[in-house]
């Protein structure tokens, strides 16, 4: 081959290779985009279980968190929500052992559920609950948990929780005060917790629980008044006792974690017949991609009812 022909051959080869390279890269980009689009639309929701599901505040059944993690792994869950008052202690060594155990079991610690009450005319009581909430945010941070359930609290004019449930979660205000007072107390209290939430990277999830958060209107009034990316909603499917679906949809766009109630064996306080296929459609409509966290609240043995609940949720949210 002459020098001139060799140069022509090499030039043509280089041009061909460059053309193939561009085509290959374009093909790879197209495949990657198609795969990414498919993953966005088809990725199944991750299902977690609250440690509360193994306890439900039943007498003599307060299962240690360690046992709950073992059970969750054996049953096939993806994550665990830790109920604060169910923990054995708050030492750093204990917290880190739980984190290590969950990691070794292939589970995320995906949520931290706490109790506080900001509905009080006594500023000292509110400050005590603010301090408690800030401490819990720091515990969640030590556990590596990204979101924490909080409550507004309630008036406390109903003596027992059983009586409150008989009254469908409704109770009268303290004499001399109105709900407007209570909303101001709750907003002010949560605002004092947010700097710690931001510092620790823990999103607070206001649950549609009892008290001021019994209705979507009440929850959204607080969320919109504070208007912070560090305050979202822990959406509980079992806390709207009548006509839940429209109410769930109102809160779906603000949700950071979803609690999914089941009632196998009949509910401890009440039983709801929830259509989880319909609820899944609502959450997909609003692009919710977070955890679905089971809160089993029935009378059946958790060892049989919780796996059945997982199967129900997997099917609905797949």
Average pLDDT over residues 272-278: 97
Q: What is the pLDDT of residue 33?
A: 53
How much is the mean pLDDT over the chain? 89
Q: How many residues does the chain have?
A: 318
Task: Decide which of 162 and 129 is more confident.
Answer: 129
Residue ranges of domains in the chain = 1-43, 44-317
Average pLDDT over residues 40-54: 87
Q: What is the pLDDT of residue 311?
A: 98
Average pLDDT over residues 279-307: 97
Least confident of 41-50, 163-172, 184-193, 297-306: 163-172
**CA–CA distance, 99 with 105 (Å, rounded to integer):** 10
Residue 304 has pLDDT above 70, yes or no: yes
Average pLDDT over residues 264-268: 94
Task: Decide which of 269 and 17 is more confident.
Answer: 269
Q: Which residues of 204-240 are buried (b: 16+ CB within 10 A; e: fewer)?
A: bbbbbbbbbbbebebbbbbbebbeeebbbbbbbbbbb
Q: Where are the beta strands (DSSP E) in 51-104?
A: 79-83
Q: If pLDDT is split at 50, 70 and 90, which confidence band does 41 have?
A: low
pLDDT in tens, 156-197: 888 887 788 777 778 888 899 999 999 999 999 999 999 999
Q: If pLDDT is split at 50, 70 and 90, which confidence band does 121 have?
A: very high
Q: What is the pLDDT of residue 19?
A: 45
H runs (alpha helix) in 144-251: 161-166, 179-200, 216-226, 244-251
Q: What is the pLDDT of residue 155?
A: 87
pLDDT in tens, 207-257: 998 889 999 999 999 999 999 999 999 999 999 999 999 999 999 999 999
Burial class (CB within 10 angstroms; exposed 0-12, middle 13-18, buried 19+) of 34: exposed
Question: Between the ranges 9-18, 41-50, 110-119, 157-166, where is the mean pLDDT highest?
Answer: 110-119
Q: What is the CATH number of domain 44-317?
A: 3.20.20.150
Average pLDDT over residues 194-208: 98
Q: Could you please report the per-residue DSSP string of 97-162?
A: HHHHHHHHTT-EEEEEE-------S-HHHHHHHHHHHHHHHHHHHHHT--EEEE-------SS-HH
Average pLDDT over residues 49-59: 90
The residues, any chain, with a CB within 8 Å of residue 169's CB and separated by 6 or more, are 210, 214, 239, 241
């Amino acid at each position: 081959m002459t020098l001139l022909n060799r140069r022509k051959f090499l030039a043509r080869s280089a041009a061909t290779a460059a053309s193939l390279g561009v085509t290959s890269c374009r093909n790879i980009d197209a495949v990657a985009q198609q795969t990414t689009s498919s993953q966005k639309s088809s990725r199944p929701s991750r299902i977690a279980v609250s440690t509360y599901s193994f306890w439900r505040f039943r007498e003599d059944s307060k299962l240690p968190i360690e046992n709950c993690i073992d059970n969750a792994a054996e049953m096939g869950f993806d994550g665990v929500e830790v109920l604060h008052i169910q923990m054995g202690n708050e030492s750093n060594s204990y917290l880190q052992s739980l984190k290590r155990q969950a990691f070794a079991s292939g589970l995320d610690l995906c949520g931290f559920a706490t109790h506080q009450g900001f509905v009080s005319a006594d500023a000292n009581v509110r400050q005590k609950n603010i301090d408690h909430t800030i401490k819990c945010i720091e515990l969640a941070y030590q556990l590596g948990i990204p979101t924490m359930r909080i409550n507004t609290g309630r008036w406390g004019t109903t003596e027992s929780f059983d009586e409150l449930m008989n009254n469908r979660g409704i109770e009268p205000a303290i004499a001399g005060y109105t709900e407007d007072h209570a909303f101001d107390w709750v907003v002010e209290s949560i605002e004092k917790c947010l700097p710690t939430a931001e510092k620790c990277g823990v999103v607070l999830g206001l649950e549609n629980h009892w008290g001021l958060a019994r209705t979507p209107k009440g929850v959204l009034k607080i969320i919109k008044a504070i208007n912070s990316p560090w305050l979202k909603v822990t959406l509980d499917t079992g806390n709207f006792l009548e006509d839940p679906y429209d109410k769930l949809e109102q809160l779906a766009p603000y949700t950071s974690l979803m609690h999914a109630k089941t009632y196998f064996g009949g509910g401890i306080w009440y039983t709801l017949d929830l259509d989880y296929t319909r609820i899944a459609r609502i959450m997909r409509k609003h692009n919710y991609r977070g955890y679905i966290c089971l809160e089993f609240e029935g009378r059946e043995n958790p060892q049989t009812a919780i796996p059945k609940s997982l199967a129900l949720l997997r099917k609905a949210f797949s």
